[in-house]
Structure 1
Amino acid sequence: MKPRRYSEVDVFSATAYRGNALAVVHDAEGLSTADMQQFANWTNLAETTFLLAPTDPRADYRVRIFTASEELPFAGHPTLGSVKAWLAAGGTVGPDGVIVQECVAGLITIRIAGDRFAFQAPPLTRYEPIEEARLQRVASVLGIARDDILASSWLVNGPRWMGIRLASAQQVLALRPDPSLLDDLEIGVVGPHPSGSDTQFEVRAFFGGDAVWEDPVTGSLNAGLARWMSDTGVAPPHYVASQGTVLGREGRVHIDIESDSIWVGGHVTACIEGTVRL
């Protein structure tokens, strides 16, 4: 074990402790996959990342992303939080103004947009309607009628999201899922706020598996939702989604759709700096 730089940052909120926390271990060379997984289990956060030297010459750094129980090929809030921590530790932006992250899913382009960071969403690896039997199960988990689901789609881009669209943000906020039925499902729900609201959509994300919880703010899900809602004419090219409201958070996810690219952005706030022995 040796001391390694350690950061905790808050992603998708300009106010500390109102977004989604991320733990970041710097200079993670020498740690095994088992070491990383055990530490991520110990932090008990939605995700913990480990910064490494890149293996692809096009990348500025490499990251491995772990939940408490598994490694993810890609995730959104760990991408933005990791680049913030990397820059704070001395990383620099190239002359083109972008940063390239290497992860299991490949290369992810990140840019600084004013006082926010934004990543270019990777392609969806599964993007198709959800089978009816599974939708019936989702409705039961969410405690709603099947007819309340206006549209649905697989939105897999690392996490195995199922996108569910409801008629209103109020319906989304009123959901009280049954954790005993969630099992291994990963459900993302979205509904529009009334015209003139501060944000255009309300989003909630529910995980099953070894840990049952609601994720405060979710970059990968919002990336998939933006692709789907843009393709189906539901979302404008620029909008802000709120997430985490029910949990007392103030997550704000900024979406910019440029040509065929989806950019997912938000503020990242530093909260903790120190060292960890690993």
Structure 2
Amino acid sequence: MSNRNVKFKEIDVFTKVPYKGNPVAVVMDGDKLSSSQMQQIANWIHLSETTFVCSPSNSEADYRLRIFTPNNELPFAGHPTIGSAHAILESGLRPQHEDYVVQECGSGLVKIYQKGEQLFLTLPEPVKNDISSSQVKQLAEALGINETEIEIAEQINVGAVWDTVKLPSAKPVTDILPNMNMLSKIIAAGVTGLTVFGPTEDNFSDFEVRSFAPNEGVDEDPVCGSGNGSVAVLIKEHHLINKNSYLATQGKCLGRDGRVEVKFTEDDQILLGGNAVSCIEGNLVLPG
């Protein structure tokens, strides 16, 4: 029985410095694989997400992207979208449009703009739901904090669904030690996980963010695009900043230095992005 090779890259996202962001494995020949093979590969690689680049079914798209955690397929995720676009453009894709590429995924069509060395995705239209006071109490207990420290709590669907919580400042965000067993029981079916954020007190960034997704096989995501997207929705909705762009940092607790830039456009869109760097390029060997 002969083996088959499929090309792949590993891209570090939301960083200029290799190994300081959030890696995503990008498999370039997704059309050659079944869904079960994709899930098996994602589970084996065991990054927070692995993506598979496929031929688009929509003529407006440049490619179709399937996104897998170690446990499940996701309709959308932020850092895999940025990292995959970087890998595809680096591989020589000529998009239909001069200044952006169009990704087809489970959440529909997503535009990714190239601005210098950075890539920015257009966040899918968010859907917001309240989190009950009893749920807030449970989340606080799982995070090991007093529920009075939770200033805002909403469930935000930006393609991926996040319970999203604001704390008073960055320090309690970096200090929390979540009980993952408790958190996994609290997070409802269909919800990716919990994202926590707080304003910083330095002159470099505006917010510190952490994202937890134990039910997806990822206790803590180093730098989470969709989690930051849910944060951006709350920042915009609650007028938490008086400018049309901001910088969030994430990953400090895991030895990373992720930097996520967010822009609020005049036409009411949210753009989210940053840098990406290629770290690994090669082949996956599959049984024939």
The TM-score range, normalised by the shorter chain, is: over 0.9
Deviations, residues 22-68 of structure 1 (Å, cap 9, x unaligned)? 00111211311101000000001000000011110000011100000
State whether structure 2 residue 44 is matched by structure 1 residue 36. no
Q: Is the 8 A contact 1:7 1:23 kept in 2?
A: yes
Instruction: Determine what percentage of the aligned residue pairs are the same residue.
Output: 38
Q: In 2, Cα distance between the equivalents of 1:152 and 1:197?
A: 26
Structure 1 runs (4+) deviating above 6 angstroms are none
Question: What pairs up with 1:46-65 in 2 under 5 angstroms?
Answer: 46-65=48-67
TM-score w.r.t. structure 1 length?
Answer: 0.96
Where do residues 266-277 of structure 1 align in structure 2 (5 Å cutoff)? 266-277=274-285
**2:132 paired with 1:135:** no
Rounded to whole Å, the distance in 2 between the matches of 1:95 and 1:218 is 27
Q: How high is the TM-score relative to the length of structure 2? A: 0.93
Aligned to 2:13: 11
State the superposition RMSD in angstroms: 1.2
SS in 1 for 2:30: coil
1:172 and 2:173 matched: yes
d(CA) in 2 for partners of 1:252, 1:244: 9
Please give the per-residue CA displacement for 1:70-92, whole angstroms capped at 9, x wherever unaligned: 00000000000001111121112
**Post-superposition offset of 1:120:** 0.3
Contact 2:263 2:270 (C-alpha < 8 Å) held by counterparts = yes
Q: For 1:167 and 1:256, how far apart are their aligned partners in 2?
A: 23
Q: 1:258 to 1:23 in 2, by over 3 A?
A: same
Which shifted more, 182-191 or 43-52? 182-191
Q: Which residue of 1 aligns with 2:115?
A: 113
Match of 2:239 in 1: 233
Tell me how far apart the structure 2 counterparts of residues 27 and 180 of structure 1 sit (CA, whole Å). Answer: 36
Maintained 8 Å contact 2:15/2:21: yes
**Pairs aligned (count):** 276
Question: Aligned to 1:223, which of 222, 229, 235?
Answer: 229
- How far the C-alpha of 1:210 sits from its partner, in A, is 5.7
Question: How far apart, CA to CA, are the structure 1 residues paired with 2:217 and 2:59?
Answer: 37
Distance, in Å, in 2 between the alignment partners of 1:54 and 1:208 is 31
Q: Which runs of 5+ in 1 are unaligned?
A: none
The answer for unaligned runs of 5 or more in structure 2 is 188-192
Q: In 2, are the aligned partners of 1:10 and 1:17 still within 8 Å (CA)?
A: yes
1:242 is matched with: 249
Asked if the contact 1:230–1:237 (Cα under 8 Å) also holds between the matched residues in 2, the reply is no
